[in-house]
Structure 1
Amino acid sequence: MLPKLGIIAGGGDLPTRLVEACRAAGREIFVLGLEGHAERDNPALPVDLWSRLGAGGAMLDALRRAEVRDIVLAGRVRRPSLLELKPDWYATRLFARIGARALGDDGLLRAVTTELEKEGFRVVASQDVLRDLLTPTGHLGAHGPDEQAEVDIARGIDVIRALGGLDVGQAVIVQQGLVLGVEAVEGTDALIDRCATLRRDGPGGVLVKISKPGQDTRFDLPTIGKATIERCAAAGLRGIALESGKSITLDREAVIATADARGMFVVGLDVSS
């Protein structure tokens, strides 16, 4: 029998999908919703406890009381300022230990994961619970990138590799060789909206999302869903390129159907070389 899973839930559909998968498998869960990140009005997300992000000690105590053994970090989490975070004694001590590693998302998540494992928990990947999450290689749907889009994708991959080494972001939008925007703290949705105001005449741009160099695949993999397709279409983009095997496509059938209806391409690429 699988051990009880603690789902530390941020925003988006991924936490809900994990809940559904665990229920189908008969696996016990404990959902810890992060205030200001997970959706309180989502009836499909059965939150057992709401907690602010800085309440590290209280969250650990709750997970232990619930007899959780495995933990998955799932969903979008907007990086708060230290003032917003209001760290408790445990979080303050953690930040003092990790120092500069807290400056980047990947560095912070690695440090948090290490601390959870020191506390006796096992941190697992979302894709270990939901086996069909990872983006496959090839075209997802009827459309594929043309020559200009291929050039834009290659440009985007180079940019993310360069900035990803600095733990900056996982997404970039390129149009006709021009970098319209790079994802930072604002997240992919805000990046898409911002670049909608910067688009040039001619063939639309491409959203490229790949993991950072050396990224721990247990958390924060680049993710898209049906809403991403709709947002990109509204912004005048003509396609999305993802790293196959290291990105998540939620509700793949809905993503494909929406992309086909919008005349957009979605492609999974092996960018390991």
Structure 2
Amino acid sequence: MSRTAIIAGRGALPAILARAIDDPQVYALEGFEPDGIQATPFRLERLVPFLDHLHQERIERVVFAGAIQRPRLDPESFDQRTAMLVPRILTAMQSGDDAALRAVLDIFEENDLSISSASDIAPDLTPAEGVIVGEVGTFDRRDASLAARIVETLGPLDVGQGAVVAQGLCLAIESLPGTRAMLEFAGQHAHLRPRADGARGVLWKAPKPGQDLRIDMPTIGPDTVDQAADAGLGGIAWQAGKVILLDRDESVRRAEAAGIFLWSAGPFDGHQG
């Protein structure tokens, strides 16, 4: 009987996926353990022995879930077979995060392991098109449109998956420090909005053009809602079907309490206006 392994990173997503899988085997890169679930650690320096272990455990399918950052590699810890992959991995890393992730996927697939996305495992995690809570005004739609174009334009540069726009002005873009840092920056510069009584601004999240959605799918959740509210924004919008919404009920509750909207935008509401 074939089994599924979760390659887990930080956050709540791995535990959510584990509940949707029969007999899940959960592993985590050492130093990036997930929340709410036990995971067996492994090191990238011993990737090939780890792949051997997956086969010994009759693993045929792998799903990547959760956040990680580039690990520090110890040259003395590489086994001989994994060391042969180092030039390939380092070359990919020099081309950006997308290329590095693609290289990792290729290595797993070359070792006869199929890769599923989180949305394959739990389709309800990616909401269908529509406004989930709150009201989206005309100016909110225009701000989301511009933010979407910014993310799409920067995509080939492998910069990030989000942007904040208020009253037609870009307050922040997501880069290596992540969504929280972007929203903190946007909050610190909210005074740059031309009209204090105008549109408060929108956080837009979407995958980069051509991004492999089986790994590193954009994710928002209750913490994102809190961070957007703290930044003084009017709402969060994202590309429908391509962004994970964690703990939908709690996210909606917090959005209602904060008076902000959650909007899963279709193709392509965001380019209107």
Q: TM-score, length-normalised on structure 2?
A: 0.88
Compute the displacement of 1:144 (Å): 2.3
Instruction: State the alpha-carbon separation in 2 of the partners of residues 215 and 92 from structure 1.
Output: 27
Identity of aligned residues (%): 35
Counterpart in 2 of 1:197? 188
Distance 1:132 1:121 in 2: 24
Q: Of the candidates 228, 235, 240, which is equivalent to residue 224 of structure 2? A: 228
The CA distance in 2 between the partners of 1:155 and 1:128, in whole Å, is 30
Match of 2:213 among 217, 231, 236: 217
Tell me the equivalent position of 2:16.
Answer: 17
Within 1, Cα distance between the matches of 2:211 and 2:62?
18
Task: Give 1:139's aligned residue.
Answer: 131
Shift of the 204–54 alpha-carbon distance from structure 1 to 2, 3 Å rule, reads farther
Residue pair 1:159, 1:172 contacting (<8 A) in 2 also? yes
Q: Distance in 1 between matches of 2:29 and 2:234?
A: 34
Equivalence for 2:204 = 208
| TM-score normalized with structure 1 length | 0.88
- Would you say the 8 A contact 1:135–1:243 is kept in 2? no
CA shift, 1:38, in A, is 2.1
Which residue of structure 2 lines up, in the alignment, with residue 33 of structure 1? 28
Displacement of 1:216 in angstroms is 1.5
RMSD: 2.0
Determine whether 1:86 maps to 2:74. yes
Aligned residue type for 1:52: R
Alignment of structure 1 residues 113-124 onto 2, 5 Å: 113-124=105-116
Aligned equivalent of 2:3: 4
**Counterpart AA for 2:15:** T
| Corresponding residue number in structure 2 for 1:151 | 142
Q: Distance in 2 between matches of 1:190 and 1:91?
A: 34
Distance 1:270 1:55 in 2: 42
Residues 58 and 180 of structure 1: CA distance in aligned 2, closer, same or farther (over 3 Å): farther
- Hey, what does 2:59 align to over in structure 1? 68
Change (3 A) 1:153 1:126: same
Distance in 1 separating the partners of 2:137 and 2:129: 17
In the alignment, which of 243, 262, 265 is matched to residue 266 of structure 1? 262
Cα 1:85–1:196 change in 2 (3 A) is farther
Amino acid at match of 1:240: I
Q: For residue 248 of structure 1, what is the amino acid of its counterpart? A: I
Task: Tell me: CA distance 1:59–1:17, structure 2 relative to 1, closer, same or farther (3 Å).
Answer: same
> Which residues of structure 1 form unaligned runs of 5+?
none
Residue 104 of structure 2 corresponds to 112
Rounded Cα–Cα distance in structure 2 between residues aligned with 1:197 and 1:91: 45
Give 1:10 deviation, angstroms. 0.3
1:18-51 per-residue CA deviation (whole Å, 9 max, x = no partner) reads 11112xxxx1221112222224xx4x3121x212
Cα–Cα, structure 1 residues 30 and 147, in superposed 2: closer, same or farther, change >3 Å? same
> Quick one: distance in 2 between partners of 1:6 and 1:166?
31
Alpha-carbon separation, structure 1, partners of 2:18 and 2:108: 21
1:175-205 deviation digits (Å, cap 9, x = unpaired): 2222121111111122112222121252422
C-alpha change, 1:30 and 1:237, in structure 2 (3 Å) is same
